[in-house]
Amino acid sequence: MNATAAIGVTGLGVMGRNLARNFARNGYTVAVHNRTVGRTRALMEVYGDEGAFVPAETAEEFVAALERPRRLMIMVQAGAATDSVIEEFAALLEPGDMIIDGGNAHFADTRRREAALRELGIHFVGTGVSGGEEGALEGPSIMVGGSAESYAVLGSMFERISAKVDGEPCAAHIGSDGAGHFVKMVHNGIEYADMQLIAEAYDLLRQVGGYTPHEIADVFRRWNQGRLGSYLVEITAEVLAHTDADTGAPFVDVVQDAAGQKGTGRWTVQTALDLASPVTAIAQATFARAASGQRDLRAAYAGLPGGTRPQLSRTEAERFTSQVEHALYASKVIAYDQGWKMIQDAAAEYGWKIDLGTVARIWRGGCIIRASFLDRIRAAYAADHELVSLLGEMEFAMEITDAQVPWRETVASAARRGIPVPAFSAALAHYDTLRADRLPAALLQGQRDYFGAHTYRRTDREGTFHTHWGAADRAETSA
Ligand SMILES: NC(=O)C1=CN([C@@H]2O[C@H](COP(=O)(O)OP(=O)(O)OC[C@H]3O[C@@H](n4cnc5c(N)ncnc54)[C@H](OP(=O)(O)O)[C@@H]3O)[C@@H](O)[C@H]2O)C=CC1
Ligand SMILES: O=C(CO)[C@H](O)[C@H](O)COP(=O)(O)O
């Protein structure tokens, strides 16, 4: 077989098939391979005339079809499947070749794989791809890890197939080894928070505002024209406006209220705990999915008293809708801020040089959280690379200031009425925690010292101290 393919894609499921087509539509010769040969044949049969494909039925044929240095992209499930595919192909590759893992791998696995393949002279390029089935075909957002050397070869290809915003590609080299997959993981964590916040806004508009799903779809359509403009708000309106063909009921009413997850939100929260990075809105969104699926627990709590739910007049409901818009926007800014801070914390921990403005730039298009306000995040980090928080930027700070009363009123209304808003509440608590002059953490330190002699620091002098709580005089000593 002649080595004519600029890239090969193995794993021709939902994502791999469309990424292969995207490369081919952009003029690249693409070798295609799948464990189950039927998928390769089906791709050739249905889409074979879209571009230059080289179908390969064995691993050897696949590798032989690739130009040197070989560029081989894996699009299979994270974990054991990815390891077994790497093992199969690494044995057939040579130093200088590149394996790109475009699946949703855990960044720690990517770091491990990168180090092992580096020993063999093979570049392992952990790459986050976002945009789902449609994005993979039409232009995803691509977060590339691995060496700068491999990006010099692969970058133009990724940039070409990626989404474009203002003529700029939504693909970039994020940093070495697992940085691309780390940033993709945080993208998904933010995705969880954004979706939960939107769902809470819907719930409030329905239960407090008294609106129907169709009316709420119109509210989201209106919001989508403003500062909340985003793919997730847009599709929310579509889902809410959809009527179930079987029953004639709103679609949202016939779907079971137990949310699933494939695990990237959970990974974000687990990793955030290791980094001591307080991503509380993301965590609450992840736990909200878990709680929704706890049927037994929900049955045990069912029927217990909640709050009171007075009917709102139409005028009051309209005013409430405006409050919820403020609360949603402010909470969203906090959730995104938490995600960016987590990336900063990880960059410090793992020695990655991540340009935070670039992360915002490549999330403006192609990915699930694409949103108009990402351009403002890009601009904020471009203006100040050292920005610790989005709230350090004047415009975001002013918007949060303006949102104070409606944001608090929304969370208070929900609490009074017994409507759960875990992500709204977490975002507001995060804001109040970080802006507080003094936190009750001082009391915690006292408790820790009391029961475990864990020591504390004083506000008025340097050093570490312990109080002898058991002694009559409760003397304090330097520890
Ligand atoms: N779906 C989405 O919206 C997104 C998915 N991703 C990630 O992309 C990756 C692929 O997802 P998706 O395309 O949806 O998955 P699919 O389930 O559609 O396809 C999975 C592919 O993996 C192959 N595969 C599974 N196990 C093995 C194995 N042990 N050895 C060889 N091949 C194997 C399957 O081959 P076979 O046909 O033989 O079973 C199939 O081609 C995942 O990591 C996913 O998390 C990333 C972004 C978005
Ligand atoms: O990666 C993605 C988008 O970028 C997928 O949408 C994500 O896998 C969906 O996650 P979950 O099934 O956990 O909701």
Q: What is the CATH number of the domain that holds 300?
A: 1.10.1040.10
Which ligand 1 atom minimizes the distance to the CA of 130?
A: 47
Residue 2 lies in a domain: no
Q: Which amino acid is residue 134, in one-letter code?
A: E
Residue 1 lies in a domain: no
Mean pLDDT, range 265-275, rounded to an integer: 98
Q: Which domain holds residue 23?
A: 7-177
**Residue-wise pLDDT tens digits, 21-68:** 999 999 999 999 999 999 999 999 999 999 999 999 999 999 999 999
**Residue-wise pLDDT tens digits, 104-135:** 999 999 999 999 999 999 999 999 999 999 99
Please tell me the number of the ligand nearest to residue 232's CA: 2
Q: How far is the CA of 262 from the centre of ligand 2 (A)?
A: 7
Q: Does the pLDDT at position 1 exceed 80?
A: no
Residue 215 lies in a domain: yes
Q: In the prediction, which pLDDT does 346 show?
A: 98
* Angle (deg, nearest 10), helices 264-275 and 280-292: 140
Could you tell me the CATH number of the domain that includes residue 140? 3.40.50.720
Residue whose CA lies nearest to ligand 2 atom number 5: 132
Identify whether residues 189 and 261 lie together within a single domain: yes
Identify whether residues 170 and 191 lie together within a single domain: no
Q: Does the pLDDT at position 411 exceed 80?
A: yes
Which ligand 2 atom minimizes the distance to the CA of 104?
A: 1
Q: How far is the CA of 424 from the centre of ligand 2 (A)?
A: 21
Tokens (6 digits) for 410: 């929304």
Q: In the prediction, which pLDDT does 307 show?
A: 86
Tokens (6 digits) for 291: 């709680």
Residue 372 lies in a domain: yes
Q: Would the CB of 262 count as within 6 Å of ligand 2?
A: yes
Tokens (6 digits) for 230: 């985003």
| Domain termination residue (choose one: 142, 177, 212) | 177
Instruction: Exactly one of 184, 325, 393, 399 is catalytic; name it.
Output: 184
Q: Does the pLDDT at position 230 exceed 90?
A: yes
243: Cβ–Cβ under 8 A, 6 or more apart, which residues?
A: 249, 250, 251
Residue whose CA lies nearest to ligand 2 atom number 1: 130
With bands split at pLDDT 50, 70 and 90, how would you rate the model's confidence at 311?
Answer: confident
Residue 109 lies in a domain: yes
| Domain termination residue (choose one: 177, 205, 234) | 177
Share above pLDDT 70 across residues of the chain, in percent, rounded to a whole number: 100
Identify whether residues 283 and 307 lie together within a single domain: yes
| Domain termination residue (choose one: 177, 195, 221) | 177
Q: Would the CB of 16 count as within 6 Å of ligand 1?
A: yes
Mean pLDDT, range 233-250, rounded to an integer: 98
Residue 329 lies in a domain: yes
Residue 314 lies in a domain: yes
Q: Determine phi and psi for 421, rounding to 5 degrees.
A: -130, 65
**Residue-wise pLDDT tens digits, 191-202:** 999 999 999 999
Q: In the prediction, which pLDDT does 361 show?
A: 98
Share above pLDDT 90 across residues of the chain, in percent, rounded to a whole number: 98
Residue 120 lies in a domain: yes
Identify whether residues 137 and 191 lie together within a single domain: no
Could you tell me the CATH number of the domain that includes residue 459? 1.20.5.320
Identify whether residues 197 and 267 lie together within a single domain: yes
Identify whether residues 296 and 327 lie together within a single domain: yes
Identify whether residues 342 and 234 lie together within a single domain: yes
Q: In the prediction, which pLDDT does 412 show?
A: 97
Mean pLDDT, range 88-101, rounded to an integer: 97
Identify whether residues 238 and 134 lie together within a single domain: no
Which ligand 2 atom minimizes the distance to the CA of 130?
A: 4
Q: In the prediction, which pLDDT does 3 show?
A: 87
What Å distances lie between residue 4 and 19, 33, 65, 69, 225, CA to CA?
18, 15, 6, 12, 47
Identify whether residues 383 and 453 lie together within a single domain: no
Domain count, the chain: 3
Mean pLDDT, range 255-273, rounded to an integer: 97
Which residues pair with residue 181 across a beta bridge? none
Distance CA(97)–CA(307), nearest Å, equals 62
Residues 318-334: b if buried by 16+ CB within 10 A, e if exposed: eebbebbbbbbbbbbbb
Residue of 107, 133, 190, 191 to mutate, ligand 2, most atoms within 8 A of C-beta: 191
**Residue-wise pLDDT tens digits, 432-464:** 999 999 999 999 999 999 999 999 999 999 999
Mean pLDDT, range 146-158, rounded to an integer: 97
Q: In the prediction, which pLDDT does 308 show?
A: 87
